A and B are shown apart, each in its own frame.
Chain A
Amino acid sequence: METKEFLKQMVEETGVSGYECKVAQLVRQTFQDVCDDVRTDVLGNVIGLRKGEGEGPRPKIMLAGHMDEIGLMVTKIDDRGFLRFTQVGGVDQRTLVSQEVIVHGKEDLFGLIGLKPPHLMGAEDRSKAIAMRDLVIDLGLPVERVRELVSVGDMVTINRSFIELGKETVSCKAMDDRAAVAVIYECLKELTKLRHTADVYAVATVQEEVGLKGATVSAYGIAPDIGIALDVCHGAMPGVPEQDTAPMGKGPNLAFGANIHPKVFEQMVKVAKEYNIPYSTDPTPAGTGTDLWAMQVTRSGIPTALISLPSRYMHTSVETVNLNDVKMSGRLLAMFIASIDAAFVEGLLCY
């Protein structure tokens, strides 16, 4: 499948943290074409294995990109059938006003989050953001039907179609972090044309947005020699300091600092230079806020690296990424994997 098409299908599919089964099914099916084996673990992580060449023991490389998305959860059905809700993951309440949503009840139900009409707002009201507790979902159904179809605890996602902007930019909800799952897929496709000795464990992780839960257990299960997380970082835009961002369309962003093994980072940079893949770097003194934070301290410790895709408007429902960045990140990842042998892995323990 074209990587863009896979990305489109993924971001339009639903999968709030802890409820990833629909998007997981899509990832499982798609990974099957480029992996020797695909399995799902107890928490729902989808793990594709693409075996390396030669006799074992072969180096094990784990790739992690999370497929869960931030969302909302129903907390109350009021006496007229309007729904109150809370957030799953870090939702900016200001992005919710005037949104179309899908309530995942007994069936998928269309709903609206409306704005209170102006004649009901005082001047003070109008100058403040509307708090999530003051917003409701309108299903346009009588209360009896709502009670039949919806339960407290049901998940809610923003109703959003994939949008193509200009030549290379795409936008939707859940680009964080399904764009990274697309990078993994791009890498796996690239690997079908390359020789590699490492066994590659391609993991679409669950529950990253609520505390890196999926990566924690999948890294334990796989016990890789090298763990690489794929995530999004903040794309450059007005109103945000340059030091907090990476340029869009200028290739993958490579983080370095305590959460990243220096030799893996160096190797990544070496490969990028060798194959003329543009990249930017991100000095990160402590946590990267990604699955990598969990992976690094799994079992007796794992050498790690982070490849990020610059993305604007993270955690809104119009997150953007650049398709060329996806392609270049996938290529860098594949070339890096092809460059790894047992001797390199052994060297990672030599300080």
Chain B
Amino acid sequence: MLLKKLSEAFGPSGFEHEVREVLKEELKDHVKEWKYDALGNLIAVKQAETGPKVMLAAHMDECGLMISSIDSAGLLHFHKVGGLDDRVLVSKPVLIGKKRVPGVIGAKAIHLQRPEERTQVIAHRSLFIDIGATSKEEAQSMVSVGDYVVFATTFGEFGEGMVKGKSFDDRAGCTVLAEVLKEEYSMPVFGAFTVQEEIGLRGAGVAAYAVEPDLAIVLEGTTCSDVPDAEAQMYCTNIGNGPAITIMDASVITNKKMVAELIRLAEENNIPYQFKRSITGGSDAGRINQTKSGIPVVVVSVPCRYIHSPVSAMKISDLEYTTQLVKLFLRSIEGGFRV
């Protein structure tokens, strides 16, 4: 299953190699031409003579960690890569570097804590990774400073139609994009699997500059906060309610005509949809929108609970409806589209 392979692939921002390989392998029968750039963006090119030039973008990178130093006891200290809350780090297994060396992030035993410590956040700077080494030399023979680290989370199904795994933000979007690229279109379609979104939307801008599309669609796995102690108006998105369409986020105001067309298609084809109901957080759409003399964009997202943590959850039907809606949109603009 593609989503499983992508979710379990190793790819913190700046180190997206494994994700790229999974995608190239998956699409080898469907994509004849690939473009690469200096940052590592992977761009599937489906050329055609007529129709608007469309770029679809989904980011390959995930939040993770990077080894910053190895101490004399053989324990590893680390930087964070992307927006991870310190509180999700404690008591988790991780994998380090290309060889995927297993490690754990522990914490001082509760028996040794002062009562007030138990309500304080353990800052990531005072946490470390234990790989079972007993000296600096032994640790250095297993890992290196600068190695990237991901959570050792496996993909799985649970509940009713739900899946769990790491990095659904944005391997969910990558999955949708890969499925969309398996079909042929009569207009030029560029599928940009971008890098470095989590550290500041770095990849999408340069990809859009090179592709110079007439319009762009960003595919995301986005926040879903339909959980207890959140008031309903703060849910942002709901699991199981279909693709979430963004009107505005912290980085962009999306194109109204494209939004209207998505809604028309969803309603005509009985595809459930919802709006993303929070304006915080940015996306690659912000960068693409500001590229060259401006590019109209929309964002279509799969709602994911608990993103930016070791394990997130989403509903498979949301992923399928998102794929369906994006394909319908592309079909509907094959003959041209006035933004």
Spell out A's residues near B (CB within 8 Å). Answer: 78, 80, 82, 90-95, 97-100, 109-112, 114-120, 126-131, 134, 136, 138-142, 145, 160, 163-169, 171, 234, 236-240, 244, 248-249, 289, 312-320
User: Is A116's CB under 8 angstroms from B229's CB?
Assistant: yes
**Least distance between A241 CB and chain B CB atoms (Å):** 8
Tell whether A111 pairs with B230 under 8 Å between CB atoms, given A90-B111, A169-B132, A312-B106.
no
| CB of B221 closer than 8 Å to a CB of A | no
User: Is A78's CB under 8 angstroms from B228's CB?
Assistant: yes
The answer for the CA separation of A316 and B91 in the assembled complex, in Å, is 6
User: Is A131's CB under 8 angstroms from B130's CB?
Assistant: no
Tell whether A163 pairs with B311 under 8 Å between CB atoms, given A116-B225, A119-B278, A136-B228.
no
User: Is B121's CB under 8 angstroms from A165's CB?
Assistant: no
| CB of B112 closer than 8 Å to a CB of A | yes
- Excluding A117-B225, A318-B106, 20 further A-B contacts by CB distance (< 8 Å) are A90-B111, A94-B122, A99-B311, A109-B158, A109-B159, A110-B159, A116-B225, A117-B236, A131-B119, A164-B132, A165-B131, A165-B132, A168-B132, A234-B109, A237-B108, A238-B75, A239-B108, A313-B104, A314-B111, A316-B107
**Least distance between A124 CB and chain B CB atoms (Å):** 12
The answer for the CA separation of A109 and B81 in the assembled complex, in Å, is 32
Cross-chain contact of A112 among B71, B130, B142, B311 (Cβ < 8 A): B311
**Least distance between B309 CB and chain A CB atoms (Å):** 4
Instruction: Annotate B294-327 by CB proximity to A: 1 below 8 A, 0 otherwise.
Output: 0000000000011111110100000000000000
User: Is B128's CB under 8 angstroms from A110's CB?
Assistant: no
- Which residues of chain B have C-beta atoms less than 8 A from A165's C-beta? 102-104, 130-132
**Least distance between B236 CB and chain A CB atoms (Å):** 7
**Least distance between B122 CB and chain A CB atoms (Å):** 6
Tell whether A166 pairs with B164 under 8 Å between CB atoms, given A94-B87, A313-B106, A318-B104.
no
Nearest to B164 among chain A residues (CB) is A112
Nearest to B83 among chain A residues (CB) is A118
Nearest to B158 among chain A residues (CB) is A110
User: Is A114's CB under 8 angstroms from B91's CB?
Assistant: no
- Which residues of chain A have C-beta atoms less than 8 A from B124's C-beta? none
User: Is A316's CB under 8 angstroms from B102's CB?
Assistant: no
Chain B's interface size range is: 35 or more
User: Is A163's CB under 8 angstroms from B104's CB?
Assistant: yes
Nearest to B239 among chain A residues (CB) is A140
Cross-chain contact of B113 among A80, A92, A138, A160 (Cβ < 8 A): A92
Instruction: Annotate B157-197 by CB proximity to A: 1 below 8 A, 0 otherwise.
Output: 01111101000000000000000000000000000000000
Cross-chain contact of B227 among A111, A114, A131, A166 (Cβ < 8 A): A114
| CB of B234 closer than 8 Å to a CB of A | yes
Nearest to A89 among chain B residues (CB) is B110
| CB of B269 closer than 8 Å to a CB of A | no
Cross-chain contact of A119 among B160, B223, B309 (Cβ < 8 A): B223
| CB of B118 closer than 8 Å to a CB of A | yes
- Which residues of chain B have C-beta atoms less than 8 A from A97's C-beta? 87-88, 90, 309
The answer for the CA separation of A251 and B141 in the assembled complex, in Å, is 24
User: Is B118's CB under 8 angstroms from A93's CB?
Assistant: yes
- Which residues of chain A have C-beta atoms less than 8 A from B152's C-beta? 163
10 example contacts (A-B, Cβ-Cβ < 8 A) are as follows A94-B122, A98-B87, A99-B311, A116-B229, A117-B307, A126-B121, A140-B161, A237-B75, A289-B111, A318-B91
Interface of A (DSSP majority class): loop
- Which residues of chain B have C-beta atoms less than 8 A from A111's C-beta? 158
| CB of B293 closer than 8 Å to a CB of A | no
In the A-B complex, list the 9 residue pairs whose CB atoms are closest, starting with the nearest.
Answer: A140-B159, A166-B132, A313-B106, A165-B132, A169-B132, A140-B162, A314-B109, A318-B104, A95-B91
User: Is B92's CB under 8 angstroms from A114's CB?
Assistant: no
**Least distance between A75 CB and chain B CB atoms (Å):** 13
**Least distance between B306 CB and chain A CB atoms (Å):** 4
Tell whether A167 pairs with B106 under 8 Å between CB atoms, given A114-B305, A116-B227, A240-B112.
no
**Least distance between B158 CB and chain A CB atoms (Å):** 4
| CB of B93 closer than 8 Å to a CB of A | yes
- Which residues of chain B have C-beta atoms less than 8 A from A138's C-beta? 227, 305, 313
- Which residues of chain A have C-beta atoms less than 8 A from B158's C-beta? 109-111, 139-140
- Which residues of chain B have C-beta atoms less than 8 A from A167's C-beta? 132
| CB of B126 closer than 8 Å to a CB of A | yes
User: Is A100's CB under 8 angstroms from B92's CB?
Assistant: no
Tell whether A115 pairs with B160 under 8 Å between CB atoms, given A164-B102, A316-B107, A318-B105.
no
**Least distance between A68 CB and chain B CB atoms (Å):** 16
**Least distance between B68 CB and chain A CB atoms (Å):** 15
User: Is A90's CB under 8 angstroms from B281's CB?
Assistant: no
Nearest to B85 among chain A residues (CB) is A115
User: Is B162's CB under 8 angstroms from A238's CB?
Assistant: no
User: Is B236's CB under 8 angstroms from A112's CB?
Assistant: no
**Least distance between A273 CB and chain B CB atoms (Å):** 24
- Which residues of chain A have C-beta atoms less than 8 A from B305's C-beta? 112, 114, 138
User: Is B90's CB under 8 angstroms from A316's CB?
Assistant: yes
Tell whether A112 pairs with B313 under 8 Å between CB atoms, given A95-B90, A119-B280.
yes
User: Is B87's CB under 8 angstroms from A129's CB?
Assistant: yes
| CB of B21 closer than 8 Å to a CB of A | no
| CB of B37 closer than 8 Å to a CB of A | no
Cross-chain contact of A98 among B161, B280, B311 (Cβ < 8 A): B311
Tell which of A80, A167, A237 has the most Cβ of chain B within 10 Å. Answer: A237
**Least distance between A233 CB and chain B CB atoms (Å):** 10
User: Is A249's CB under 8 angstroms from B164's CB?
Assistant: no
**Least distance between B278 CB and chain A CB atoms (Å):** 5
Nearest to B133 among chain A residues (CB) is A166
- Which residues of chain B have C-beta atoms less than 8 A from A109's C-beta? 158-159
The answer for the CA separation of A317 and B103 in the assembled complex, in Å, is 13
Tell whether A313 pairs with B109 under 8 Å between CB atoms, given A98-B311, A110-B158, A168-B132.
yes
Tell whether A140 pairs with B104 under 8 Å between CB atoms, given A119-B223, A119-B225, A129-B120.
no
- Which residues of chain B have C-beta atoms less than 8 A from A112's C-beta? 164, 305-306, 311, 313
Tell whether A100 pairs with B164 under 8 Å between CB atoms, given A112-B311, A129-B120, A166-B138.
yes
- Which residues of chain B have C-beta atoms less than 8 A from A142's C-beta? 160
- Which residues of chain A have C-beta atoms less than 8 A from B140's C-beta? none
